[in-house]
Amino acid sequence: MNAAVLLLILMNFLFIGILPVMFFKRGGSLNLMWWLTAAPFFICVIFLMLSFLGVYPPVVGYEGELTRIRGLLATVVSTASISLIAYTLGTHRRSIALWHQTNDATEELVTYGAYARIRHPFYAAFLLAFLAALIFSPNLGTLGTFLYGLLIMSFTAVKEERRLRGSQFASEYEAYISRTGRFVPRLWR
């Protein structure tokens, strides 16, 4: 198992982990929904470390050309995740609300920068991190965290979209939905 690729993926998860502390608005709480969303990130890192230590190895072996290809692909996907997070942070002109807060009021509709093609670029970047982990260490643990992450990010995105559809930005948001994808860019309109 390539330690450099593992380090990159772990740094990706660390970057995600510092977002609530370093970049999001203060005043929110780490409520139950936040912890349910955060859980797969912690669990995925544990599975990656167990895999690296040989305690919980990937279903596909460590040796051979396929492992090198998986390492290269995981590097590309993890780098895309980190880049998308950085680009999304750079898009925001105001502080970002902490996830899952009942008192989050929509102050503006961001449809430029990272949001020009994807409605939830942070969540897309998080899913890329899980995908990088799964590619790098394909086992039931990383598969489970990827699937759970996809489920919880989808649930959260739908909830946020419902809130925006009921806000003062409803008509603008409907037009935005028609031209953008939730987690991946829409190739056609």
Domain boundary assignment for the chain:
3-24+31-93+109-179
CB 60 within 8 A of CB 74: no
Strand locations in the chain (E) = none
Q: What is the CATH number of domain 3-24+31-93+109-179?
A: 1.20.120.1630
Q: What is the pLDDT of residue 58?
A: 75
pLDDT in tens, 88-105: 999 987 767 655 566 666
∠ at Cα 124 (141, 180), nearest 5°?
Answer: 145
d(CA 108, CA 130): 29
Mean pLDDT of the chain: 88
DSSP secondary structure letter of residue 114: G
